[in-house]
Structure 1
Amino acid sequence: MSRSPYGTWNSAITASNITQGSIKITDVVVDAVTTAVYHVESRPSESGRCVLVDSPSGRDLVGKEWNVRTGVIEYGGAPAIVHAGVAYFSNFTDSRVYAVGVEKGSEPRALTPESKVFRFANFDVHPKHSQLLVSVLEDHSDNSSPTSVINALCIINTTSQTLTPLVSGADFYASPKFSPDGTRIIWQQWFLPDMPWQGAEIFVADVLVEIDQVEIRNAVHIAGKKTTNSVSYPRWATNTSLIFTSDQSGYQNPWKYNVEAGPIFSEPLKQDFGEPAWTLGRSPYATIEDGKRALFSAFQDGRSILYTVDIANGTRHVVDNPYVGVQSVQSAGRNKVVFIGERVDAPPELVVCTFSPDSSAHFSLVSKPSAGPSLPAGLISVAQPMTLKAGPDDHPVHILYHPPTNPEYSGTNIPGEKPPCVLYAHGGPTSFTGQALDMMTQYYTSRGWAWLNVNFGGSSGYGRAYVERLAGQWGIVDIEDCIQAAKIVSHAPYDLVDPKRIVIRGGSSGGFTALGAVSMGSDLTTFAAATSCYGISDVRLLMDDTHKFESGYGHGLMGGTNKEIPEVYKERSPVTHADSIVSPLLILQGDIDRVVPKEQAEAIFESIKRRGGKVEYKLYPGEGHGWRKEENMIDALERERAFYETMLSIK
């Protein structure tokens, strides 16, 4: 092994081999009748097109002209379902719903009328009348303001190709599901300004089907409350009982409902079961043994923990497994569950978990769509979870530290040198960064950089109280936690990184945190450079420009509306403090971003440019809120690293 200055190591991980040919599994779909397994994958090499795939064979169910994706709540999710050998999916290009047989050579046929204003997602097929689908419907007929968009539940009649309304009145809907016998239906709903993890409700109602018309009766609110109690992921366990999660205890825990709602566990577990629903359809659990038990995924120290849970008595057992991330859990038969499994050292896998009569679990792969680059042994930097004590009150800040790692190097040849470090502020901001393999992290650590993921106050996975640290404090708590984390890990007793060579980066609200850290943080010299990817520079414009799903989100984060507290919005906008930025700044932006429009990026770029500050700006044509095209992913990755190396004089 050789020695070379940190940040200069040669690496087998390149922007091209990370991206070229790579895909991302976005959803798991199981045919409830045949138990055949399918998945939705996003392909950067095809401009980010999403495809529905027969998982065992790897065969696409639709051709290259189709994009299995939805724009509901802008972030999408749950764009397809398969029932009795027929796939139903939303086509992103025209937003219509189509049906296609899963056999080879089938051609999709349209089920919904031509429309430029309707969007569909989160389907369920009636078990007795399979020509009837329930769907979330988003109507953009009136786009005069974000709140003029209408969300509802509707019935799609696949025979007559007609739409009929089913449920309306709430601002948002998700997870509509018929009971196994088709006599009842459940759904989740919530109202602005809540996000679904802040306050949501679950309803159950009787279903009456007469001459292809569906009517609901006796709708009953069974759980959840606006603003104070989030309930999520409702599913039927049997014809008369259902399961969901509730954060009534302060943590998202499993609950059940039959005659009345109640927790499954006798004492709350201080772990969150399920992540914030930024997209539709991703359940953290699935039932087994005809609804008597369920496999649940929970979060602990930035990784997933699997439990089998007895629904009747709440008995739970930890399932030993190699996955630090578990996503989109689906039943695939009486004793089988399928999910997306994430490891610390391998790309995501589509996994089937089979339970034996003795309750032991066996894991096998349904498919492994993306092998990723071939990497030398020992190249992966594994996350080290830590909880820091920050500020005068010693409040906790949860971080994941990735040390520089490359089997070809034993360290630096410069005495006393500490590695440069990338500090990553995740988006959301109600989200979190886990321990699963992320190739961008490895792109840096394999070159002799350290990488620090900060799950600042407001992050999920640590209970509702930790999320609510950010209530009214966005642009304060997140920024200060990142600054404090950088200072703590770069000084005694940690001394892990060079305090003069820490850069901060983030996308979306993480970009806001990065911009804020170098423009309005407590110490503007903490970070030697910063990158904002489609980040928010002016929270005043955000409230005017953003989409319906998040149109009330910022009010809770800021502590009121822009009209109520205009001075706070101005003070918390990085563009207001652009003249204070002394760190070099890179801004990367998509030109068709509806969540954070390009005007946000251009405002702060022009402000810094006018006064002669160090700022670079790259606009990617055809990109929205994040990069979907392979060529742009490569350019963004290489451009950002080159920017840091220039500004830190690494090469």
Structure 2
Amino acid sequence: MPSWQTDKKCAPYGTWESPITAELIAGSVTSVSETIVDPTTSIVYHIEGRPSEQGRSVLVESQAARDVVGPGWNVRTGVYDYGGAPATVYAGLAYFSNFTDNRVYVVDAQQSGSTPEPVTPATCTRICFDKKENTAHRFAQIRVHPEQNNILVALFEDHTVDTPSSVVNTLCLINTVTKNVTNLVSGSDFYAFPLFSPKGDQLVWQQWSNPHMPWESSQILIADVTLTGSDPALELSNITTIAGGDGNSNISVGWMSWASNETLLFLSDESGFINPWKYDVSSKQSSAIFPEPVEQDFASVMWYLSMFPYAVVDPQYGIFSAWKDGRSILYLVNLENGTSVELENPYVNVDSMRTVSLEKNQVVFVGGKVNDFSGVIQCTVTLGDSPQVNFEILDPPEKVPFPQDLVSIPKGMTLEVPPNGDPLYVVFYAPFSLEYEGPPGEKPPCVLNVHGGPTGMAYQNLQSIVQYYTSRGWVWLDVNYSGSFGYGRAYRDKLNGKWGPLDSEDCITAAGILASAQYNYIDPDRTVIRGSSSGGLTVLTSVSLSSNLNAFAAATSLYGVADLVSLMKETHKFEAHYMLPPGTPEEQQKILYERSPINYANRIKKPVLFLQGDIDDVVPKEQALSMYNSIIKAGGKAELKLYAGEGHGFVRKDTQEDALKRELDFYERYLKLKE
């Protein structure tokens, strides 16, 4: 553990007074989720989530800090439920999905106060006694044809029959003049990244089908585009698969971008790591950009449609973000010969990268630091033998509402798991206060946090909740358990067929190693576990089905999974087959039953807190309610808070504040940290 200053007050860990209060940090951060660039003007925009405005999302012109749409609009999409990519800007016009009615609108992005106009119809498709608009149709990743600007291609999701097996996903055409929506490509279960070539004569897209996720097996297709005089005003021909698995092979591809009208860039994990590739339109050949595979992942897995890890800065060069030791690093890559140079980069989390100007060698991205929130960052590269990079903040991150010198800095660690020394990746945050230190010889309590996914990752950029605990004398430990992305496909695939047992054992192992004499970093009797979504399953498995039911003193499940059998029947289409174990349907059902904590509530020895939104479509509220009731019925200790109007993840300020207070109070009571 670090050495503390001797002039600080001595007080038991976990009892320190902190200026980082729930009132201060709840709703204080407007999250920047993605960048958007108008390719005709190079003006940069971004999507901003605002907890203080009931969680609505806003399209903002970044450098001018100007809202493109007013308070009555929510620039958000529910495609694949996780959403992302709800808007695009082209030739000064913004096209966006409005979350309230799911219609696509157009608005003058350069004129404040303009009123959005709908470009998709408002037909009623279900029970319409109150004449509600067509909320059954959802749109995302809207693309404008570069020559015929009234023609848009978009992802289309039809919830007319709203069950996972009945939801239909296609690529559609939107004619903004006639306001017609017509089918363009169908047949696969899912689509992403439709993209016109610079001349508009070709269209590429990614597709995949159940039971696969896009990072397991997916394909990229290309087609010739012909404009017609009728409606639909666009036709596709010569549709060809240019990269990816065939549904039976484990190759995932995606993240397409045009370097020129003849060269398409994309990413593929054919080598076992997600690396850059390119497709030559003339020769119709795909090839890896690097001469030899690089054992780093150059992308996250695609949970959100807004995620994008690279951008072209020159017809010959691109800037690519890769994961190394759990942090983002930047490479300048020669697209012709595959040579690369690592660039200086103070941002530990880089996402949503877009080209701003090829002439000025500029890209923009959302970047977060260990001691600062995420903002919109413009990066300019001076090319040459020794490339130089300059970062400019276009939209400043939200001001950190507490002293930045109070921040506990993350430490990425690779633990060796006995008996073979297999790697297990964690991020460690030590307790830190400007006023307090712990008593000599005392080991601090620990919050072990389990990220969602389970194919997710614990990022190292500044998160207020981490500092909320570390400033009170807690250790915060993020575990990138087996199945996490950012460490190659082999590490990610370790969880296949073992979701529940392996991730929970990894968490128990990580806590045990850091409590052992080798480290002495945490108090094993005062270590609690928390997790959201699939991380909630890990939490509940740890206290009901694991090898050590006493490994954690208390547990919190935030909109977590408790019943795998019902989840596979109730959850949304995108994850309806996700993480199913191998075997026949009968064998799968048996395994799912055996791995569901709901069936072992009587084994839970430790108190459990449930925090759940009541309109969650990903993990329905019944999961938390049934698990809570089962624990109480079995004589265990459990607490439950159901938040009205919240879905999968809490977006409102009042919810965030209550959840922070409630969870800390829960731990303090059961660990008897405060009288």
- Amino acid of the residue matched to residue 191 of structure 1? S
How far 1:392 sits from its partner (Å)?
2.9
How far 1:478 sits from its partner (Å)?
0.2
| Equivalences, count | 644
Is 2:115 the partner of 1:98?
no
The residue number in structure 2 matching 1:119 is: 138
Other structure's SS at 2:226 match: strand
2-side partners of 1:549 and 1:563: how far apart?
A: 22
How far 1:597 sits from its partner (Å)?
0.5
How far 1:89 sits from its partner (Å)?
0.1
Given the alignment, which residue of 534, 542, 546 partners 1:517? Answer: 542
Q: TM-score, normalised by structure 1?
A: 0.98
The runs of 5 or more residues in structure 1 that have no matched partner are: none
The residue number in structure 1 matching 2:254 is: 232
* Alpha-carbon contact 1:17-1:372 (below 8 Å) kept: no
Is 2:452 the partner of 1:427?
yes
2-side partners of 1:302 and 1:118: how far apart?
A: 37
The residue number in structure 1 matching 2:639 is: 616
The residue number in structure 2 matching 1:182 is: 200
1-side partners of 2:404 and 2:646: how far apart?
A: 35
How far 1:385 sits from its partner (Å)?
1.0
The residue number in structure 1 matching 2:378 is: 352
The residue number in structure 2 matching 1:281 is: 306
- Amino acid of the residue matched to residue 636 of structure 2? G
1-side partners of 2:438 and 2:307: how far apart?
A: 44
The residue number in structure 1 matching 2:127 is: none
Other structure's SS at 1:554 match: coil
Given the alignment, which residue of 274, 287, 299 partners 2:323? Answer: 299
1:305-454 to 2 correspondence within 5 Å?
305-334=329-358, 335-358=361-384, 359-373=387-401, 375-409=402-436, 411-413=437-439, 415-454=440-479
How far 1:611 sits from its partner (Å)?
2.4
1-side partners of 2:413 and 2:584: how far apart?
A: 36
Q: Which moved more, 1:574-583 or 1:382-391?
A: 382-391
Q: Deviations over 1:360-405 (max 9, x none)?
A: 11101001151130x3353111111111112433321101110001
How far 1:571 sits from its partner (Å)?
1.1
- The alpha-carbon distance between structure 1 residues 26 and 560, as it changes in their structure 2 partners (threshold 3 A), is farther
The residue number in structure 2 matching 1:218 is: 238
Given the alignment, which residue of 110, 115, 139 partners 1:107? Answer: 115
* Alpha-carbon contact 1:175-1:281 (below 8 Å) kept: no
Other structure's SS at 1:332 match: strand
1-side partners of 2:135 and 2:611: how far apart?
A: 30
2-side partners of 1:63 and 1:54: how far apart?
A: 13
The residue number in structure 1 matching 2:189 is: 171
Given the alignment, which residue of 213, 234, 246 partners 1:195? Answer: 213
The residue number in structure 1 matching 2:169 is: 151
The residue number in structure 1 matching 2:75 is: 68
How far 1:87 sits from its partner (Å)?
0.2
- Amino acid of the residue matched to residue 236 of structure 2? I
* Alpha-carbon contact 1:297-1:326 (below 8 Å) kept: yes
Other structure's SS at 2:221 match: strand
Q: Which moved more, 1:211-220 or 1:182-191?
A: 211-220
Is 2:43 the partner of 1:24?
no
* Alpha-carbon contact 1:594-1:625 (below 8 Å) kept: yes
* Alpha-carbon contact 1:170-1:190 (below 8 Å) kept: yes
How far 1:569 sits from its partner (Å)?
1.1
* Alpha-carbon contact 1:187-1:204 (below 8 Å) kept: yes
The residue number in structure 2 matching 1:241 is: 263
Q: Deviations over 1:62-88 (max 9, x none)?
A: 111110000000000000000010000
Is 2:597 the partner of 1:574?
yes
How far 1:357 sits from its partner (Å)?
4.4
* Alpha-carbon contact 2:68-2:112 (below 8 Å) kept: yes
Is 2:599 the partner of 1:594?
no
Other structure's SS at 1:198 match: coil
1-side partners of 2:545 and 2:552: how far apart?
A: 12
* Alpha-carbon contact 2:601-2:634 (below 8 Å) kept: no
Is 2:161 the partner of 1:142?
yes
How far 1:560 sits from its partner (Å)?
4.1
Q: Deviations over 1:500-543 (max 9, x none)?
A: 00000000000100011011110000000000000000000100
2-side partners of 1:281 and 1:219: how far apart?
A: 25
Q: Deviations over 1:415-453 (max 9, x none)?
A: 421000000110000011021111111110011000110
The residue number in structure 1 matching 2:568 is: 543
How far 1:324 sits from its partner (Å)?
0.5
* Alpha-carbon contact 1:58-1:369 (below 8 Å) kept: no
Given the alignment, which residue of 492, 496, 516 partners 2:521? Answer: 496
* Alpha-carbon contact 1:391-1:484 (below 8 Å) kept: no
Q: Deviations over 1:318-338 (max 9, x none)?
A: 010111010100000111000
2-side partners of 1:184 and 1:58: how far apart?
A: 35
1-side partners of 2:582 and 2:173: how far apart?
A: 39
Given the alignment, which residue of 233, 255, 265 partners 2:277? Answer: 255
How far 1:27 sits from its partner (Å)?
1.2
Q: Deviations over 1:57-113 (max 9, x none)?
A: 111111111100000000000000000100000000000000000111211000000
* Alpha-carbon contact 2:373-2:397 (below 8 Å) kept: no
Q: Deviations over 1:589-640 (max 9, x none)?
A: 0000000101100111011111221110000000010101110000001100
2-side partners of 1:43 and 1:58: how far apart?
A: 14
Q: Deviations over 1:532-581 (max 9, x none)?
A: 000000000100000000011131xx234653333211110011111110
1-side partners of 2:172 and 2:491: how far apart?
A: 36
Other structure's SS at 2:210 match: coil
* Alpha-carbon contact 2:371-2:404 (below 8 Å) kept: no
1-side partners of 2:523 and 2:578: how far apart?
A: 36
1:555-570 to 2 correspondence within 5 Å?
555=580, 558-560=581-583, 563-570=586-593
How far 1:650 sits from its partner (Å)?
0.5
How far 1:412 sits from its partner (Å)?
1.5
2-side partners of 1:630 and 1:240: how far apart?
A: 48
Is 2:147 the partner of 1:128?
yes
Q: Which runs of 4+ in 1 moved over 4 A?
A: none
Other structure's SS at 2:465 match: helix
* Alpha-carbon contact 2:496-2:579 (below 8 Å) kept: no
Other structure's SS at 1:500 match: helix
Other structure's SS at 1:146 match: coil
- Amino acid of the residue matched to residue 72 of structure 1? V
Q: Deviations over 1:277-309 (max 9, x none)?
A: 0111321000011x3110000001110010010
Other structure's SS at 1:17 match: helix
The residue number in structure 2 matching 1:54 is: 61
- Amino acid of the residue matched to residue 534 of structure 2? S
Aligned-pair identity (%): 49
